[in-house]
């Protein structure tokens, strides 16, 4: 939406308010308070409308959903494919400038989740890993599962208003590594590109705080127990 007409209208309202307040005629003097109140009410309404229709609706809005497809490849090898569907709910072109998709293993022993489970209160939420430099177990309130593979790259997706696009990441892994997995995905528009938090990245979590998130779990036992999937 072109904001120039709105800005011009706001300027005219402001000048008119100044003119009314500056009248010295007695009759006008009696009514100028009423005029000024009405004008400033209109002015405030116009400012609110401008913010909603130009600023707020101009912001990126998206609906992000994620599904996981598991494909047995034989000899204990499985393909884990994450499908991220991004729908542009906004009024402008949606640009996706970066994606961070992490394949995580649900391994309770690597970071001693048994000991973590025994903690209470802040001791639980502020717990540190027993290995890997004693990084935080949590990113905010989200447990940081061990990362097996990670796709963390700049991209260039452009989605028109009302349209959808599909982002796909394919990971290969052996069944012996885990019975259950988790895919954690974060996507970012260019406005969030520079929102970099080294502490978050060091903890194995999202490298930026903006954008949209999707999380999914999957059970590998069935796909890994099929014919020809014996791990050599």
pLDDT in tens, 130-163: 987 789 999 999 999 999 999 999 999 999 999 9
CATH 2.60.40.10 fits 62-107+145-224, yes or no: yes
For position 51, what pLDDT does the model report?
47
Cα separation, 49 vs 42, in Å, equals: 10
- Say which residue the tokens 């949590």 belong to: 138
What count of other Cβ atoms lies within 10 Å of the Cβ of residue 167? 20
State the average pLDDT over residues 196-208: 50
Tell me the per-residue pLDDT of 158-177, one tens digit each, with 9 for 90 and over.
999 999 999 999 999 999 99
Q: What is the pLDDT of residue 110?
A: 93
pLDDT range class, residue 218, cuts 50, 70, 90: very high
What is the reported pTM? 0.70
3-state DSSP: the chain helix, strand, coil percent, rounded to 5?
A: 35, 35, 30
pLDDT at site 55: 45
Residues 6+ apart with CB under 8 A from 139: 200, 203, 204, 205, 206
Of 113, 96, 116, 109, residue with least CA distance to 185: 96
Environment class of 197 (CB within 10 Å of its CB; exposed 0-12, middle 13-18, buried 19+): middle
Which among 108, 102, 150 is positioned nearest to 130, based on CA atoms?
108
What does the pLDDT read at residue 16? 63
Please report where in the chains the tokens 């717990």 appear, as a residue: 127
Instruction: Give CA–CA dist 68/81, Å, rounded.
Output: 6
Using pLDDT thresholds of 50, 70 and 90, give the confidence band for residue 91: confident
Task: Please compute the mean of the pLDDT values over residues 14-20 and round it to a whole number.
Answer: 61
- What burial letters (b/e) apply to 52-85, b meaning 16+ CB within 10 Å? eeeeeeeebbbebebebeeebeeebbbebebbbe
Mean pLDDT over all residues of the chain? 81
pLDDT computed for residue 7 by the predictor: 63
Q: For the CA atoms of the chain, what is the radius of gyration?
A: 27
Q: In what order do the strands lie in the sheet with 212-219?
A: 147-159, 94-105, 180-188, 212-219
């Amino acid at each position: 939406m072109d904001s120039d007409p709105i800005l011009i209208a706001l300027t005219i309202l402001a000048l008119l308010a100044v003119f009314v307040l500056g009248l010295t005629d007695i009759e006008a003097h009696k009514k100028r308070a009423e005029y000024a109140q009405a004008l400033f009410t209109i002015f405030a309404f116009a400012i609110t409308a401008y913010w909603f229709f130009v600023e707020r609706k101009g912001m990126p809005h998206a609906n992000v959903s994620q599904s996981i497809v598991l494909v047995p490849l034989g000899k204990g090898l499985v393909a884990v494919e994450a499908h991220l569907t991004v729908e542009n709910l906004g009024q402008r072109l949606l640009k996706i400038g970066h994606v961070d998709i992490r394949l995580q293993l649900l391994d309770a022993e690597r970071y001693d989740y048994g000991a973590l489970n025994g903690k209470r209160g802040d001791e639980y939420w502020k717990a540190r890993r027993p290995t890997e430099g004693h990084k935080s177990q949590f990113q905010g309130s989200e447990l940081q599962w061990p990362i097996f593979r990670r796709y963390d790259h700049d991209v260039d997706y452009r989605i028109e208003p009302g349209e959808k696009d599909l982002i796909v990441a394919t990971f290969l892994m052996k069944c012996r590594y885990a019975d259950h997995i988790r895919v954690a995905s974060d996507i970012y528009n260019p406005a969030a590109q520079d929102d970099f938090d080294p502490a978050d990245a060091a903890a194995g979590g999202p490298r930026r705080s903006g954008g949209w998130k999707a999380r999914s779990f999957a059970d590998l036992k069935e796909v890994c127990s099929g014919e020809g999937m014996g791990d050599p």
